[in-house]
Structure 1
Amino acid sequence: MPDLNPSTPSTGPGRKLALRGDLLDFTAQPDWGQLDSPAVRFQPDHWLLIDEAGRIAGTQPSEPDASWQQVDRRGRLILPGFIDTHVHCPQLDVIASYGAELLDWLNRYTFPAERRYADPAVAAAGAARFLDALLAHGSTSAVVFPTVHKGSAEALFAAAEARGMRLITGKVLMDRHAPPELLDDVAGAERDCIDLIQRWHGKGRLAYAVTPRFAPTSSPAQLAMAGALCRADASLYMQTHVAENREEVRWVTELFPEARSYLDVYERVGLLHERAILAHGIWLDETDRQLLAARGGQVAHSPSSNLFLGSGLFDWPAARASGLGVSMASDVGGGTSLSMQRNLLDAYKIQALSGQRLSAWVALHAATRGAAEALGLQQEVGHFGLGTLADVCVWDWARGPVAQARDERVAPGHEPQALHERVFAWMSLSDERNLHSCYVAGQCRHQRDS
């Protein structure tokens, strides 16, 4: 089984680095609604120590000795890099497209954009643009859909390797109900997957995800092939969509009348396991939630996309009550921003519409340590624990007069509820413009010009 928590990253800082700022991460999962959560670890005006291999060597309040290269970002917030657990590389081209629900969206916008990725040059340029955009928004790890083209997955793997990023992706499987130029076949898709797995899975910080787009675009034979790949290698991930839109759910019922539910389509062929990432899950029932939790899979909650496409309101408390893991995702281009803060704010609004209040702690945990744990990568990313890779982002607490005025009102106190007030304001009012710098395994991969 490939080592998905590499002992040495492909790139590191090559020198000891100390970052100074307000450190915030999590030691466990915060309870719903608890504002003074013991799971929150806040270390104001501390130094984050990063060793020569790009791993976190500790934190301390005092200035480190002269052997450390000091980067003083006092007065700024330092967080683990965000982990985007569901996003589409080629859909940057169609972000913010007008007036469609899910199935119309695919036919009108997504499929035409994805056809272009048959061209290797388009795929390479798109992968580079996409990963640089993730870093510029503070996301240092991602679970990504490319296209049905083998070359689009290869381009993503190569571009992520060059940047030292943690990336999980795999060629999209799609052999029906799509334009002919985007269809594969079972035997050819299986050969492509096996070749990509052999070349990329477990190489550095890369991992392969078996990727049926969603049940309607894969024949029963193709879904069975995907399940067989997962059974043959338990270290493989699986990513797909489930129960996003009511019309989609109705369609799946027609296509798979033998299945109890949409989720059961995947269960019958062995696609539900502890490395399964299912986007959306809005219309899962309690039986489905308990089944997915029992299999160890997770829902990649995509709030911006759910609102923009009018798909529905995800019941996060019900998922938690079932023991189901929930991570955070941008789902660009159905989602309208790669900014995790904008997506977290949309998640708050969704819960508010359901009479719930999503705390900043639960939200941020789902985009950092919680996502890492759901992916089995908690030894590598998602928090500031000793030995984790230094995927770290430095943020301004406030940008612009409105946010600055709000921050001045809440900044003085560090008691638990006052801290939550400040972090919630930051989560609500910030976006990629607040990002000062982004480090991947201790290497600065993005920094604001001024």
Structure 2
Amino acid sequence: MSLVAYTGAVFHMTDDPAVVGAEASFQYEADGMLVIDDGTVQACGPRTSLATKLPEDTPVVDHSGNLIIPGFIDTHIHFPQLDMIASFGEQLLDWLERYTFPEEAKFADPAHAGECAEFFITELLRNGTTSALVYGTVHKQSVEALFEAAYKRNMRLIAGKALMDRNVPEGVRDTAAGSDKDNRDLIKRWHGKGRIGYAITPRFAPACSDEQLTLAGKLLAEHPDVLMHTHLSENTSEIDWVKKLYPTAKDYLDVYDRFGLLTDRSVFAHCVHLEGEEFQRMAEADAAISYCPTSNLFLGSGLFNLSEAEKYGVTVGLGTDVGAGTSFSILETMNEAYKICHLRGHRLDPFKSFYLATLGGAKALNIADKIGNFEPGKEADFLVIDGSATPLLERRLKNCSGVDETLFVLSMLGDDRAISHTYVAGECVHSRD
């Protein structure tokens, strides 16, 4: 791919606004240019200054009137739960038994896994999500299908086979030894192939035997660039169950720590009911949290305390948690995150929202050296947001007085319709038209 320039309003986050302050956390050019060379960012800045430095024959793609931002990063999502999204009436544990496990059992069929993987990846890209940390099922072929679909599109995607060898139905149960072999095979075949990464993925502590968690911790230690992805403190009934299973553990987080699963490569989804000491230990380990607001509201799990995570310096990214989450759209996820913070007495400013969705997510997944903003040398995953996607959005944006208000309105009124184009490594992989 040769040099290509893209014009439009350009925005990206350069740091966490909770740490450096809002004004020092972003770059915005109302008349901007993003220059891409062979799938990586070469430059980002004012169009007037960058245009004069381009070779005369450089193609220029005009997105004037629209907003160019880094691709969204979903730090927690379940690809096998496509066909059960918006299932009625249950909280976490009953929801898993009634809806999730029967649906995931279908992924023993490779054809079903392949069809779902294609739809799933297409839907991510249509919503502007260019990278994600994804749960498969216990079936090795579910992860194979997902990796095939992502690799074909050159996506930076991290996923893993779910580990569940107890307290689950037979159709979604594996064994400790079998899951360890599958993990090793998948890592050998896929980790580092193209832009694919692997995550060791225990479902949650109640679904994994001590032997399975021990093997997971051993495998994590053997592979220093592989992630660990699991659930933590999502629901009060779940926490009570963990206390019964591990009566000598200090708390839920301590269970994972005992098996070597609390590290700087660990991503814990939800963390709704963490206490201060747990936040402190997560910060000391440099582990990350995936904040999943639509799921937490839909299942009635509770209200995540983002300000407490910030107080302790814990890394946080946004997750849709489809299918308990009700939308693939990170814009809609920002909407719900704002409301939860409001109920917590904390105002989530729009710069922080877009940080969580881009650079914060990249830091949570240990890939901020590769994606998350428009620093030169990073991979060119980016979106074009159309502010006239709906009549109401267009009307409201005309009354915005600054980029902060524009971002806030996009996060409140935007959804998949606002994603005009999605680019992966400089290639357009979704165009709304």
Shorter-chain TM range is: over 0.9
2:432 equivalent in structure 1 = 448
The one-letter amino acid of 2:135's match is F
Asked if structure 2 preserves the Cα contact closer than 8 Å seen for 1:82 and 1:139, the reply is yes
Alignment of 1:182-193 (within 5 A): 182-193=172-183
The one-letter amino acid of 2:18's match is D
Give the 3-state SS of the residue equivalent to 1:37 in structure 2. Answer: helix
- Out of 40, 64, 71, which is 1:74 matched to? 64
How far residue 374 of structure 1 moved from its aligned partner, in angstroms, is 2.1
Give the 3-state SS of the residue equivalent to 1:31 in structure 2. Answer: helix
Asked if structure 1 preserves the Cα contact closer than 8 Å seen for 2:75 and 2:364, the reply is no
The one-letter amino acid of 1:56's match is V
The one-letter amino acid of 1:376's match is N
The one-letter amino acid of 2:392's match is V
Residue deviations 1:254-300, cap 9 Å, x none? 11112111111000000011110100001111111111111111010
Distance 1:400 1:27 in 2: 29
Give the 3-state SS of the residue equivalent to 1:409 in structure 2. Answer: coil
Distance 2:12 2:254 in 1: 36
2:335 equivalent in structure 1 = 345
Is the counterpart of residue 432 in structure 1 residue 416 in structure 2? yes
Distance 2:290 2:408 in 1: 22
- Out of 88, 91, 98, which is 1:98 matched to? 88
The one-letter amino acid of 1:45's match is D
Distance 2:2 2:356 in 1: 31
- Out of 42, 60, 76, which is 1:57 matched to? 42
Q: Percent identity?
A: 44
Is the counterpart of residue 227 in structure 1 residue 217 in structure 2? yes
The one-letter amino acid of 1:26's match is M
How far residue 399 of structure 1 moved from its aligned partner, in angstroms, is 2.5
Is the deviation greater in 362-371 or in 65-74? 65-74
Asked if structure 2 preserves the Cα contact closer than 8 Å seen for 1:242 and 1:262, the reply is yes
How far residue 66 of structure 1 moved from its aligned partner, in angstroms, is 3.2
Across the aligned residues of Structure 1 and Structure 2, the Cα RMSD in angstroms comes to 1.2
The one-letter amino acid of 1:75's match is G
Gaps of 5+ in 1: 1-13
- TM-score normalized by structure 1? 0.93
Distance 1:116 1:141 in 2: 25
Distance 1:235 1:354 in 2: 35
Gaps of 5+ in 2: none
Is the counterpart of residue 364 in structure 1 residue 354 in structure 2? yes
Residue deviations 1:288-330, cap 9 Å, x none? 1111111111010000000000000000010111111111000
- Out of 17, 41, 44, which is 1:30 matched to? 17
Distance 1:372 1:33 in 2: 18
How far residue 32 of structure 1 moved from its aligned partner, in angstroms, is 7.3
2:208 equivalent in structure 1 = 218
The one-letter amino acid of 1:41's match is Q
Give the 3-state SS of the residue equivalent to 1:266 in structure 2. Answer: helix
How far residue 78 of structure 1 moved from its aligned partner, in angstroms, is 0.6
Asked if structure 1 preserves the Cα contact closer than 8 Å seen for 2:81 and 2:322, the reply is yes
2:122 equivalent in structure 1 = 132
- How many residue pairs get aligned? The number is 428
Alignment of 1:174-185 (within 5 A): 174-185=164-175
How far residue 65 of structure 1 moved from its aligned partner, in angstroms, is 4.3
